[in-house]
Structure 1
Amino acid sequence: MNDLGRVQATQKSGSEAFRDGQGSRDFALRDFWAWNQSDLLSNLCRAAFAEFIVARALSADTSTVRDEWGTYDLRAASGLKVEVKTSGFLQSWHQNSLSEPSFSIRPARAWHPDKNTFGSDVRRHADVYVFALLAHKDKATVDPMDLSQWRFYVVSTATLNSAKPKAKTLSLSALEGLAGPVSFDEVASAVEASIARRAA
């Protein structure tokens, strides 16, 4: 009988060749990645890209495969559950003005992919949120791979629940009322400090 359980993905190297019944073809997985993932300013790509940046800042395990449907985005080396949200001033398309950054903070039900069911409680499931802002404002020089162009705001979920219990989105000005920006190298200590402040 066909097993319809969850498929556990394994990390690829990019060198895997496409193939057919006769053997390998002359294009590989990295060619798909380059075609599909090179627009780092696109909202969809930037979301996963920001998760990867924060994962590296937190020394989270990136040797596995990103869990697109997890109840939170990352688990830090310390064990904390981390949700990453991203926004920016620039888009890849023509703009008449800079975008107004905003971040989704919508509480949600957890989805369990092993059973294809949703949990009953609607809440924020992470311990802490890291809001990753691509803060650069010049299209001629924007480069999402330049970590100095990013600013990060770290807010514990407890603080978010207290200040914005039912909010679905958070503007940049509202976010700045909760936390100040930190650099890539300061993210890990800011995450730990946010939890320590709530425990004190």
Structure 2
Amino acid sequence: MSDAPQQPEWIPAPEVPPLNGEERFVGVAATVADFWRFAMSDLRVNNTRGYLAEFLVARALGSSAHRVEWDDYDVLWRGIKIEVKASAYLQAWPQRAPSQLRFTGLRGHSWGDITQGMSAEKTYKADVYVLAALTTTSHADYDPLDVSAWEFFVIPRSKLIELGVDSIGRSTAARLSPSLRFDQLAEAISSAATPASSSAGDDPDRGV
């Protein structure tokens, strides 16, 4: 009989219904919408801008599903696994000059079955990568809610595997893909994913 300590069983995390913002806190005069305004009012902040880019890509594909934190990709559309990366010239802090557009984190460790931990090596986990750049260079004109202020690059996984890099700048992205408008995303993603590899049993239309 083994004396090794038994590992505790995993606690499953049930799905929760989406919030609409009107839910009220208990013990404080505030709503979930108040919290959202507190946490994500500035869309220039890096993580919030990333969420916004994922949202725009999902909407360009007609998906209204919700993002899944810690998943291996950001959007699942027609069996195509899509990773979204965002960059911008302007930031939420003082700058001497506009930032260089760079898209990072293209490779990552895969969770797979979370009970087994992360994969040992970094890989390209999506079928298609959408690089979203907010092109405004003046704060007076800054409006991230205007989709015409964004440009997109759609790159299949195979091209990134050939490069073997974790990040690329705009010039490299432009060599791998034409600059695309919001309304061109669906066709470009579909073309980049042909043929696309997708796992059996995936939800055919899951978004951010």
Q: TM-score, normalized by length of structure 1?
A: 0.87
Equivalent in the alignment of 2:202: none
CA distance in 2, matches of 1:53, 1:113: 28
Equivalent in the alignment of 2:203: none
CA distance in 2, matches of 1:3, 1:79: 29
1:37 partnered with 2:44 = no
Cα gap change, 1:35/1:113 in structure 2, threshold over 3 Å: closer, same or farther? farther
Determine which structure has the larger strand proportion and give its number: 1
Matched to 1:43, the amino acid is: N
CA contact (8 A) 2:129 2:157 kept: yes
Q: Name the SS of the counterpart of 1:177 in structure 2.
A: helix
Q: Name the SS of the counterpart of 2:188 in structure 1.
A: helix
Highest RCO, 1 vs 2 (Cα 8 Å, sep ≥ 6): 2
Q: Name the SS of the counterpart of 1:129 in structure 2.
A: strand
Any unmatched runs of 5+ in structure 2? Answer: 1-7, 198-208
Any unmatched runs of 5+ in structure 1? Answer: none
Equivalent in the alignment of 1:187: 185
Q: Percent identity?
A: 31
Name the Cα RMSD after superposition. 2.3
Equivalent in the alignment of 2:150: 150
CA distance in 2, matches of 1:120, 1:53: 32
How many residues are matched?
A: 190
Matched to 2:15, the amino acid is: Q
Q: Name the SS of the counterpart of 1:196 in structure 2.
A: coil
CA distance in 1, matches of 2:18, 2:151: 29
Match of 1:19 among 13, 23, 26: 26
Matched to 1:125, the amino acid is: K
CA contact (8 A) 2:89 2:134 kept: yes
| Structural mapping, 1:1-200, within 5 Å | 4-20=11-27, 25-62=28-65, 65-76=66-77, 78-112=78-112, 114-115=114-115, 117-162=117-162, 164-165=163-164, 167-196=165-194
CA offsets, 1:134-165, max 9 Å, x none? 01111111010011100000000112212x12
Shift of 1:79: 1.8
